[in-house]
Amino acid sequence: MHLSLGAFGGAERVCHHIIKSLIEHDQEVELLSFEFDRDAYRKIIGEEMPQRIIIHEMPYKFKIKPPFTIYKKYYLVRKSLINFRKKCSSRYDFLFLTQSSNPLELNFLTRICNRVVGYVHFPEIHHEYERSGLKRKIYLWPFKHLVEKGVNNLDLIICNSHYTKEMIMRYWRKNHTKNIEVVYPPVDLDSFWCTKPLNERENKVVYIGRFIPAKKHEIMKKLAKNFPSFEFVSAGLLIDEMKGWFKEFCKDMPENYLLKPNLPKNELIKILQGSKIYVHLMEGEHFGIAPIEALASGCITLIPENSGAREFIPEIFRWRNEEDLKNKLFKMMNADENWWSSYREILWQKIKELDPKNFSAKIWKCLKDSFQYL
């Protein structure tokens, strides 16, 4: 189950490859999701949805306005899932939630499945609750409790990094006492590999992330103002609900900063393979597939110290604050090709672990080890 397949981010790529893995191992797969655009899915993911799959699409007619946004959405999702449960004539061997950071769906669907697996990207609500002020904590507390009810129903947790595993153990250990497995997300490395030397690339800095406030695109705008001789590009998904924010963000835009929402995969690859530097700006990012794609494309890749991608990228390419990022950016833009090539070869060997075939094998091993009837 993946309710928001129209988002087209890292979680959706994980969902796609989990479905492929299950089909490759002769499982009968049914997908439950809200309605999504198949043409857009093919363009962004780069592949069609696998054919050997039954898709249950629920209508998405939500128009949610403040206040109490998360509770209004919860009520509407609850209503849709209960309707599906009432019509469901099957009982499934297991339910695989591929975006179970807040596994609320399990409060309504456990009756139709024997076991539940969750691929957890990050325990978002608990992390936000801990960092919030008193008023926000009062607002979030009932929702946090609903999430914990869902966590209680997870038979197996798979997560995307050891960084995320530490956060899950920190926030959910009272609700989930079973094993937690780490399986890094799959990255389509073959599409991105590029050995183009730095001196043949533009003095261009790229960032990929959904166009939402949490992804910190405003740092990119600051960098563009600080380095007017470099070109800066932000690319990522823009959904209708964020167009108001995006319109405001576009104000006071530096001439050397371009925004590229909703790019097809081939255009995104072209930008990465022609750029010198990729910067990742969201601190606390649970993993981040985009930095790995950028690294495979030959970009010098700078990430926050506080992120899951640090498990693949050494300290010299990690920044601690915005001033540190500016210093590293200036230094790396003038990096020697031989110096970067030696680092790049070592890093490329490390990220080969993220090949989709390896992901498929590890996901299946986790399932077999946990559910002996497979």
Amino acid 284: pLDDT: 79
How is 169-237 classified by DSSP, letter by letter?
A: HHHHTTT--S-EEE-PPP--HHHH-----GGGSEEEEEEE--SSGGG-HHHHHHHHHH-TTSEEEEEE-
Question: What pLDDT is stored for residue 352 in this prediction?
Answer: 92
More confident call, 44 vs 371: 371
What average pLDDT does range 285-309 have in this prediction?
92
CB 301 within 8 A of CB 295: yes
| Residue where the block lists tokens 């007017």 | 228
Nearest CA to 297 among 206, 178, 372? 206
Amino acid at 273: Q
> 10-186+355-370 adopts what CATH topology?
Rossmann fold (3.40.50)
Q: What is the mean pLDDT of residues 54-61?
A: 86
Which residue's entry shows tokens 């001033």? 323
* Domain 189-354, classified CATH 3.60.20.10, yes or no: no
Residue 373 banded pLDDT, cuts 50, 70, 90: low
Average pLDDT over residues 109-113: 92
Asked if 10-186+355-370 and 189-354 have one fold, the answer is: yes
**pLDDT tens digits for range 236-255:** 989 888 999 999 999 999 99
CA-to-CA dists, residue 36 to 4, 8, 146, 343, angstroms = 8, 10, 26, 41
Domain locations along the chain: 10-186+355-370, 189-354
Interatomic CA distance for residues 141 and 101, integer angstroms: 16
Output the pLDDT for position 8.
66
Is a pLDDT exceeding 60 seen at residue 160? yes
55 in helix, strand or coil?
strand
d(CA 20, CA 192): 20
Residues pairing with 117 in the sheet: 96, 156
Q: What is the pLDDT of residues 78-103, one digit of tens each?
A: 999 999 999 998 899 999 999 888 89
In order, the DSSP letters of 267-329 are HHHHHHHTEEEEE---TT-S--HHHHHHHHTT-EEEEESSSGGGGTS-GGGEESSHHHHHHHH
Whether the CB-CB separation of 13 and 185 falls below 8 Å is answered with: yes
Query: Could you give the CA distance from residue 279 to residue 322 in angstroms, rounded to a whole number?
Result: 11
